[in-house]
A and B are shown apart, each in its own frame.
Chain A
Amino acid sequence: MMWLSVLPPLPVVGPLVIAGLLLMASHGLPRPIPDIIALATTAFTCILCLLLMRHAGHQPLVYWFGGWVPRHGFPLGVGFVIDPIGALLAAFIGLLFFATLVFAWGYYDEVHAHFHVLMLLFMSGMIGFCFTHDLFNMFVWFELMSVAAFALTGYQLRTSALEGALNFTVTNAVGSYLFLAGIALIYSRVGALDFGALERGVAAQPHDVVVISAFVLLTTALLIKAAQVPFQAWLSDAHAVAPSPVSVIFSGAMVSIGIYGIAKLAWSVFAPSGEIRHVIRVLLLAMGAFSTVIGGVMALLQRHLKRLLAFSTISHVGILLIGVALWERGALAGVFVYFIGHGLVKGALFMVAGILLALCGSIDEIELRGRGRGIWPAGVAMAAGGLLLAGLPVGLMSGGSDFIAAGANALGQGWLLWVVSLGAGCTGGAVLRSSGRVFLGLGPVAGHERHSPTEEDKEKADRPLWLMLVPTTALLVLSLVGTRFASDVISRATLRFMRPDNAMILDGAQAIPAAALALRAPPISYTAWLSVALALAIAACSLFHHRMTRRASRYFQPIRPVLTSLRALHSGDVRQYVMWMAVGLAAFALAFAVS
């Protein structure tokens, strides 16, 4: 099919071209036009990616830019290789942008369509990141999405937004330079940048120190983007101060795409190295477990709702990292299901936060107590989101975590189930507590979160409630339907993701037929109910039995210093963040030296 051969770059190139045209024409366009153009572009991109996914199911779609096809098995140019997983994630990203642009309809007054241009650039960066088959090209898309994200964070030029954007930019820029250093190292050893050629290079010298250093640098950069402990601190600053529509994208897709990058590099480049596999299984697993717990605990301590959701993102992305680090097919399939489920739910929750900012004029849980009664449908959405975060056994999130749990059990790592339930229970409990306080007026006026930092904030108010509720509800509903279908497609495609068909991509051999069967959905893990119960208990304790909590808190006295120091780690001082990044990088390198 001729038309299919030119299709692969279109979801990236199309939005880029439209963004450029929009910028050129931005002075002359009346207000709803940029909104309409951006909406049409994202919808078109989403549909196109779904189409690509359908065709990639048979064999991966390969596109070499400029017609530079590999010669004698050596890549000459830069290629896109689209497998069903990359295409599905790209379609999800398109969908999330579409919903966000509906949510943000009329959010910005000014005529210049800079917001839409940046959003389209942001989207093409992420989709390019999912499609690319070249390490340096990956860096370019990584950078495009980072720069668009930096600009969108500080877009409104409010003081706190500027400070948050500064922290975000500095930490993530260090990450990009580490990524580039990793590219230089592996290029100096292998002499190629294409994933397939790199994989062959790694297979030829799996114990090489330079290759391993490259892995450390590349993974650290992606862990910074994925906000995993100890690289996580920028995230709560950036998410809390960015405009709500932008936070939807940050938490829904940008952070978790770092995990996709790690999985991609690990499976399609570094898999032949035994040392690297070992460190992934041990160190990244521990890192994911830590992030899951620390993110959950920190979420409980917040009263700034967006900051609360930001910490819950750290926790849930930690669960994704656990799934990747288990290094097993079922768990990896679970990661991609969870990726989409979490993105939908968290996106909806950030939209609820945006509704509160717009209609109630605050984002502070304590100040908002009882003020959400008039907009109760938003409260229903928030409570539903909280239950889903906690692991209520319906929908994509629970489908994904069941796969991950089954993988952990199969590998004899049952303790991870407790970690996952603890993290999910804490974040779900925090969201439920806030919805009870804001929308039902329950709970004491000031809880134990009294001293949390907060500040005046407001977003544009004259948008109707239904306009913002429609995308919120749509995301939540989408996270509930189609679990079977998504699990089937993903578990079938995961095998291809794990064993990229380099003989077909580089040597032009026949594609390995997609004989892989879908994995059967694992049974619902009993820990799901455990974490839901934990979430309900946390919410009930902090809302109803204040006195009891106070008595109980006496028993928690010993961990108070831990909580205080945890909070101190997120001080907002970018120098500390950079220091922790350096420490994390050193520890990562040390782990290799030891093992």
Chain B
Amino acid sequence: MLNALPWAVSAWLLAIGLYGMVSSRHVVHLIGCLSVVQASTYVLLLAAGFRWNAIAPIFYSFAPGTPAVDPVVQALVLTDIVVGATVTALLLALALELHKKRGTLDPDQLRPLSRERKG
């Protein structure tokens, strides 16, 4: 039961994040929901490398060979966080510029090429 929990949490975060994005009414909210989607990958990665009754993979005060959780996935999560920060920062910068130009961040009104020209 407990073993399945992180996988279920991850799937739930993915689903709820996508739902939030689809039903969003504000670009910043949409970006927040994208971060929720990303959070599902954190949980999934950590679950993939977790071991019961194991130490953190730092062998400063433990003998090498003591069972530890998988350090590889932790490195992956770290990279994931960097990627997420980059993308979120870029998206928020785009949103900020858009708000300056259009005065709104309602996705209903932000559609590239959708303003038809007369004639």
Interfacial residues, chain A to chain B (CB-CB below 8 A)? 136, 140, 143, 147, 150-151, 154, 157, 159-167, 169-170, 173-174, 176-177, 180-181, 183-185, 187-188, 193, 237, 240-241, 304, 307, 451, 453-456, 571-576, 578-579, 582
Contacts and interface: CB of A to CB of B under 8 A. Distances in A.
Contacts of A307: 113
A180 B48 CA distance: 12
Contacts of A177: 37-38, 40-41
B117 A454 contact: yes
Interface in B84-111: 86-87, 90-91, 94-95, 97-98, 101-102, 107-108, 110-111
B94 A169 contact: yes
B114 interface: yes
Q: Which of B14, B30, B38, B111 has the most CB of A within 10 A?
A: B111
A181 B37 CA distance: 10
B69 interface: no
A147 B47 contact: no
B68 interface: no
A392 to B, nearest CB: 31
B37 A180 contact: no
Nearest 9 A-B pairs (CB), nearest first? Answer: A572-B111, A188-B48, A163-B112, A184-B44, A164-B112, A180-B41, A184-B45, A159-B101, A453-B113
B38 A241 contact: no
Given A166-B91, A170-B30, A188 B47 contact: yes
Contacts of A165: 94
A237 B112 contact: yes
B40 A575 contact: no
A157 B30 CA distance: 20
Contacts of B91: 166, 169-170, 173
Contact of A184 (B48, B94, B101): B48
B107 A575 contact: yes
A166 B113 contact: no
A184 B41 contact: yes
B14 to A, nearest CB: 7
B83 interface: yes
A575 B24 contact: yes
24 contacts: A147-B86, A159-B101, A162-B94, A162-B101, A163-B110, A163-B111, A166-B98, A170-B30, A174-B34, A177-B38, A177-B40, A187-B48, A188-B49, A193-B72, A240-B112, A451-B116, A453-B115, A454-B113, A455-B115, A572-B114, A573-B108, A574-B30, A575-B30, A582-B18
B22 A575 contact: yes
A150 B89 CA distance: 12
A304 B114 CA distance: 12
A170 B112 contact: no
A159 B102 contact: yes
Interface of B: 10, 14, 18, 21-24, 27, 30-31, 34, 37-38, 40-41, 44-45, 47-49, 72-73, 76, 79-80, 83, 86-87, 90-91, 94-95, 97-98, 101-102, 107-108, 110-117
Contacts of B21: 170, 174, 575, 578
A241 B48 contact: no
Given A162-B94, A162-B101, A169-B94, A574 B34 contact: no
Interface of A: prevailing SS: helix
Given A157-B101, A181-B41, A193-B72, 4 more contacts: A147-B90, A174-B34, A455-B113, A575-B30
Which one of B38, B40, B48, B101 has the highest number of Cβ atoms from chain A below 10 Å of its Cβ?
A: B48
Nearest to B96: A162
Nearest to B31: A170
A53 B108 CA distance: 49
B115 to A, nearest CB: 6
B22 A166 contact: no
Given A176-B83, A237-B112, A451-B116, A166 B94 contact: yes
Contacts of B49: 187-188
Nearest to A306: B113
Nearest to B50: A188
A193 B23 CA distance: 36
Nearest to A167: B112
A184 B86 CA distance: 21
Contacts of A136: 76, 79
Nearest to A159: B101
Contact of A162 (B30, B37, B97): B97
B29 to A, nearest CB: 11
Contacts of A579: 22
A165 B97 CA distance: 12
Contacts of A176: 83, 87
B112 A183 contact: no
